Amino acid sequence: MIENPPIAQSDLRCATCAGQCAFTPTTGQLTCHSCGACHDIKIDRSTDPTIEHRYDPALPHTEQPETTPEHPYGCETCGGEVIFAGHSMSENCPYCDGALVERLRDESYPTLGMIPFAIASDTAQENVQNWVAKRWAAPSDLSSHASRSRVAGIYVPFWTFDSHEAVDYTIRYDIRRGKRTISKTHTGFMNHYFDDLLMPASDHITPLIRDGILHDFNPRDLRPFNPAYLAGFAAERHHLSVRQGLKNNAPDKALLLRNRIKSHSGKSNITNISYKTDTTGIKYRRILLPVWIMHYEYAGKPMKIVTCGLHGRTYGERPFSIPKLLALAVLAATAVSIFGFLWGAGGLY
Amino acid sequence: MLVDLGPIVTGFLLIAVSTCVGVYPIKKLITIQEAKHELKHGSPGFLRSFSGILIIALWFMATWFFATIIGDWYNTDDLAGAISRSRHRLEILLRILAAFGRD
């Protein structure tokens, strides 16, 4: 198993003036905060970050968490644990803005690959503001609430999972025979291959937010883990075992399989689906993906909006304005009622 | 000619009740619309966001159904007859809802 190199502060010093460097997403280089010099990041060509690791649930898994030399910072509010590289040490949690407390040691699994930030904070901030402005029935002061908060850049742990599913299924479906509805049963078999299913390994990125921000993932964009990419950002490490990751991924997989069975069966009016799947060829990667998170509070409720650090897609949590919802409901109710009234008055059936 | 206010008042009452009940379906409609445009198509989040679509259909159909009875009542001045004539519409609506529920 690959070991992640420790984050040495000396590696992030400027070769020209010994100032602190931070990773610049727009150039993909380290930029010195003192003299402005740019330095290329050396990529370790001997490591292939796209390699997937096999996992067999029937065999004992040898992967063990390691104690990392960096001191993690734990959030007293949400329990999140992050590490920092370079000078950007924050006193607040990038996830929830809670106070951070230094912890003595961190046990985590090595990251196999990562994709560095490609979107700068200004662009992310703009994307978040645009996203907020486009919300229907949002409170009028939501934009000003969001503009008071700033986005924070963080590398979030993700898994990619591959697996082959041999699925035996039974469906029940209804057909109409004259005025009668008849229930029928159909059994079938299908093979399905899941390739690079992305699963967040952090409670802070929900599967819904993942589906909002990560539309395209290309494993060829992965690079070997390099602490230089973390300079100026926070990062959360992998703390969950593969077994836990697969357990978290199970509801998503079940939903996708049921949907696949529906289209594979070619039947409509399906009332029930039951299936048994034989899962083989499980492969996984532990990776870090960049996101910009803005946390804000509305009416005492904490919410977050997330921008993908790769392509800038934005998605998040938002409040609704009850008066605006009522106004839309009265419009819709009036329109439907007039339609129904005219239908009834016209003597139509 | 004196207009019977019964159907008109009931119509306004229907709009008021439908508005109050309609807050949740409207919220759901907006959520689905946003999901359709912003979530990755075919992803688990995208599929899950459509799970409550039945409530929108139910609200729309219930409002329409009661409005048809009021319209019939207004036209014929016969509430009992309007309710009786609405049974056929109700049957069709229940079939549509059952199909929605299955999908």
Residue located via tokens 């329409």:
B64
Which residue in B has a C-alpha nearest to residue A257's C-alpha? B44
Distances, alpha carbon A155 to alpha carbons A82, A100, A111, A201, in Å: 9, 17, 11, 11
**B63·A333 Cβ contact <8 A:** yes
> Mind telling me how many Å the CA of A198 is from chain B's nearest CA?
10
How many Cβ pairs within 8 Å bridge chains A and B?
Answer: 132
Phi-psi region of A281 (alpha: psi -120 to 50; beta: other; left: phi over 0): left
Which residue in B has a C-alpha nearest to residue A326's C-alpha? B23
- What pLDDT score was predicted for residue B98? 80
- What pLDDT score was predicted for residue A166? 97
Cβ atoms within 10 Å, residue A36 = 11
Among B38, B47, B60, most A C-beta atoms within 10 A, so best to mutate, is B38
| Domain boundaries defined on chain A | 7-42, 110-318, 321-349
Per-residue pLDDT tens for A179-236? 788 899 999 999 999 999 999 998 878 888 999 999 989 999 999 988 888 888 888 8
pLDDT tops 80 at residue B26: yes
Question: What sign does the CA torsion over A135, A139, A143, A146 have?
Answer: negative
Which residue in A has a C-alpha nearest to residue B17's C-alpha? A333
**B67·A136 Cβ contact <8 A:** no
- What pLDDT score was predicted for residue A87? 46
Question: What sign does the CA torsion over A324, A327, A331, A337 have?
Answer: positive
Chain A residues near residue B64 by CB distance under 8 angstroms:
336-337, 339-340, 343
Q: Regarding beta strands A301-308 and A270-298, do their DSSP bridges make them parallel or antiparallel, or are they unpaired? A: antiparallel
Residue located via tokens 């016209």:
A346
Tokens linked to B19: 């508005």
- What pLDDT score was predicted for residue A88? 44
pLDDT tops 80 at residue A347: no
| Least confident segment among A37-46, A114-123, B30-39, B64-73 | A37-46
pLDDT tops 80 at residue A296: yes
Query: How much is the pTM?
Result: 0.83
Cβ atoms within 10 Å, residue A101 = 12
Per-residue pLDDT tens for A53-108? 999 888 877 777 777 666 677 776 676 677 766 544 455 677 766 666 656 567 78
**Chain B window 18-77: which residues touch A at a Cβ cutoff of 8 Å?**
18-20, 22-23, 25-27, 30, 33-34, 38-40, 42-49, 60, 63-75
- What pLDDT score was predicted for residue A204? 78
**A341·B73 Cβ contact <8 A:** no
Phi-psi region of A18 (alpha: psi -120 to 50; beta: other; left: phi over 0): left
pLDDT tops 80 at residue B101: no
In 3D space, the residue among A178, A188, A150, A162 whose CA is nearest the CA of residue A267 turns out to be A188
Provide, rounded to the nearest whole percent, the portion of chain A with pLDDT above 70: 87
**Three-state DSSP state, A84:** strand
At B10, the pLDDT band (50, 70, 90 cuts) reads very high
The better pLDDT of the pair B4, B60 is held by B60
**B44·A211 Cβ contact <8 A:** yes
Measured between CB atoms, does B87 come within 8 Å of chain A? no
The stretch A281-294 carries a mean pLDDT of 94
ipTM of predicted complex: 0.89
DSSP B66-88: HHHHHHHHHHHS-HHHHHHHTHH
Q: Cα separation of B79 and B70, whole Å?
A: 8
In 3D space, the residue among A28, A24, A317, A306 whose CA is nearest the CA of residue A151 turns out to be A306
Among A211, A270, A308, A331, most B C-beta atoms within 10 A, so best to mutate, is A211
**B74·A136 Cβ contact <8 A:** no
**B11·A337 Cβ contact <8 A:** yes
At A32, the pLDDT band (50, 70, 90 cuts) reads confident
Phi first, then psi, for residue A18 (nearest 5°) are 65, 15
- What pLDDT score was predicted for residue A76? 65
Residue located via tokens 């742990």:
A157
- What pLDDT score was predicted for residue A104? 59
